[in-house]
Amino acid sequence: MRHLDFIIIPNLAQIYGRIYIYFIEVESYGMKGKLIVFEGVEGAGKTTQMQRLIHWLQLSCFQKVRLVATREPGGTELGKGLRHLLLKQDPGESVSDVAELLMYAADRAQHVETFLKPELSKGTIVLCDRFTDSTIAYQGYGRNLNLNLIKQLNAIATGGLESDLTLWLDINVEEGLARVRARGERDRIEQAHLQFHKRVQQGFTELAEENQSRIFRIDADRPEDAIAQEIQGIVSHKLAAWGYLK
């Protein structure tokens, strides 16, 4: 059995206030990378499960693979500024729905162009906390903006890049919000009214129905270990199918 060789830059998690762990490969893999996305409503456990998946991949990969973790909004320097503007509790004036949509699109365009595409072209496995489905669910279903327009905007921002696998952590909205409340301070979007979050949840539900080969539903209202094990099963199956595990 061969082990993944990696270098960890240890303090990025603290710098970004949450996961942003980065492994560096010691050998080029020579194939196109894969984009694995975590999606779900507030407090579904995406961050928790991404960290656990990284840890598991680090221990169990059989080949030398470059692996990075990132997020939207906020995966680039520009994105960090946009994230602050989008999520701060008291923006000083109400943020219009269209302005919000365009800021998420700008964050994504920068992220795709300067980070995701270069990484994927090196053969990297990229784990990303939220991507295009969040815009459809939050701005489309949640804010009631035009879905076709959002799909076009997503296409412009991504240049056609799509996730190879999306893990949708499905949890009852009230339960997710209760977890967020228990954690402490809530950001601008977490403070939105319950009906908004329910519409977002409906968006994820319909997206999963429409994209069954890409989106895997995970019951996230379970203990962390059970969720992590299911995710590991799905990801190892995919990695084998993609030729990463031999």
Q: Which is nearer to ligand T5A, 180 or 234 (CB)?
A: 180
Three-class SS state of 222: coil
Q: Which is nearer to ligand T5A, 27 or 97 (CB)?
A: 97
Three-class SS state of 114: helix
Beta carbon of residue 223, minimum distance to ligand T5A (angstroms, whole number):
6
Tokens of 159: 């240049």
Pick the binder of ligand T5A from 70, 110, 135, 163 (CB under 6 A): 135
Q: Which is nearer to ligand T5A, 2 or 14 (CB)?
A: 14
Beta carbon of residue 31, minimum distance to ligand T5A (angstroms, whole number):
27
**Counting contacts by CB under 6 A, is residue 69 touching ligand T5A?**
no
Q: Put residue 22 in one of left, alpha, beta given phi > 0 → left and psi -120 to 50 → alpha.
A: beta
Pick the binder of ligand T5A from 47, 58, 172, 211 (CB under 6 A): 47
Is the four-CA dihedral 207, 49, 231, 2 of positive or negative sign?
positive
Burial (CB count <10 Å: 0-12, 13-18, 19+), residue 211: middle
DSSP string spanning 177-193?
A: HHHHHHHS---TTTTS-
Q: Which is nearer to ligand T5A, 57 or 227 (CB)?
A: 227
Residues in contact with ligand T5A, shown as a per-residue x/- string from 139 to 168 under the rule CB under 6 A = x-----------------------------
**Counting contacts by CB under 6 A, is residue 210 touching ligand T5A?**
no
* Cβ atoms 42, 180 nearer than 8 A: yes
Binding range to ligand T5A, per CB under 6 A, among 56-64, 118-126, 132-140, 204-212: 132-140
Beta carbon of residue 59, minimum distance to ligand T5A (angstroms, whole number):
20
Pick the binder of ligand T5A from 6, 37, 43, 165 (CB under 6 A): 43
Q: Measure the CA–CA gap between 39 and 166, rounded to whole angstroms.
A: 7
Pick the binder of ligand T5A from 6, 20, 23, 104 (CB under 6 A): 104
Neighbours of 26 (CB within 10 A): 11
Pick the binder of ligand T5A from 44, 65, 67, 235 (CB under 6 A): 44
* Cβ atoms 157, 108 nearer than 8 A: yes
Q: Which is nearer to ligand T5A, 40 or 123 (CB)?
A: 40
Nearest to 189 by CA among 37, 73, 20, 50: 73
Beta carbon of residue 135, minimum distance to ligand T5A (angstroms, whole number):
4
Three-class SS state of 216: strand
**Counting contacts by CB under 6 A, is residue 78 touching ligand T5A?**
no
Judged by CB under 6 A, the number of residues near ligand T5A is 26
Neighbours of 1 (CB within 10 A): 4
